[in-house]
Amino acid sequence: MYSEKRLSDGLVGVTQRPVQPPESVVQFTVLGTLGVLRDGVDYTPTAPKLLQLLALLVMRPGKMVHVDSITQELWPSGPPRTVRTTLHTYVYHLRRCFEQHSLGDGADELLVTKAPGYVFRIDPSQVDVHRFGQLQQEAQDLLRQDQHAAAAARFRAALDLWTGPPLANVHCGPILLPYTMELLEQRRNALHMLIEAEITSGNHRELIGELRSLTAGNPLDEALHGQLMRALGRSGRRSDAMAVYRNLRKRLSEELGVEPCDELQLLHHDLISEGDHF
């Protein structure tokens, strides 16, 4: 029911991460597969329902998760007649996992029954989502101080926490699915702000390859295409920038029946008229 495997030690760290907890502290990952890690060892349960329950608890560290929310997530089509006993069994197995691997001061102290639900007594800093949010906030604070290069470094550190789609190993129901969608939107926003900070810092040439890859993977993302056009334009490659616009316009027309947004049309006009607003 439980897995235990050594993780790769080849991950590249990012300097100046004060929000990263010590490795000896149990850490929980959400920005990729759901994981329970300590000292490089993965103690994540493998049973599907246990993963769902753990995900619900991790998304609200230190806060009560109502039994009704758990029931709705685990049994969206309606709970079984033995729902109370079954849920108690899942909670027991989670506590057993924590106790077997000494992942807390005590299983009952870590996962606490508190009517009308359960509280997972972990610090938010143990969850990668918290670190992601804190790094984003630091980056935005730096942007407000016009420290674009430092902000870009913070955004990259935040995005480096991602290893794949959120909760990739969890079957997400009506509670977890909206949560993962919100996280993906936060990631998308961080990515766009990173690129803006890099362009403003004068790193537009270095971004072209990365933006080519991003637009290939997101062929209808107008914001990414606009950033690629600006990076190309600032690098003296206006013809390539206009080709990006033409290809995007054709795709939008064929697949969605729409024209590029006003911002892209204005950017294209500036490129044609040799404007300097890109």
Domain boundaries, the chain: 1-186+194-201, 202-278
Q: 270 and 229 in contact (C-beta within 8 Å)?
A: no
pLDDT at position 260 over 80 = yes
Cβ contacts of 132 within 8 Å, gap of 6 or more: 31, 158, 161, 162, 186, 190
pLDDT digits (tens, 9 = 90+) for 121-132: 999 999 999 999
Strand partners, 181: none
Residue 16 in this model has a pLDDT that exceeds 60: no
Cα–Cα–Cα angle for 123, 128, 134, nearest 5°?
85
State the pTM of this model. Answer: 0.85
Write down the pLDDT at residue 245: 97
Residue-wise pLDDT for 54-104, tens only, equals 999 999 999 999 999 999 999 999 999 999 999 999 999 999 999 998 887
Q: Do 166 and 188 contact (CB within 8 A), yes or no?
A: no
Domain 1-186+194-201 has CATH 1.10.10.10: yes
- CATH code of 202-278, in short, is 1.25.40.10
Average pLDDT value for residue range 140-151: 97
> Residues 232-245: what's their mean pLDDT?
95
pLDDT surpassing 90 at residue 276: no
Cα separation, 267 vs 241, in Å, equals 10
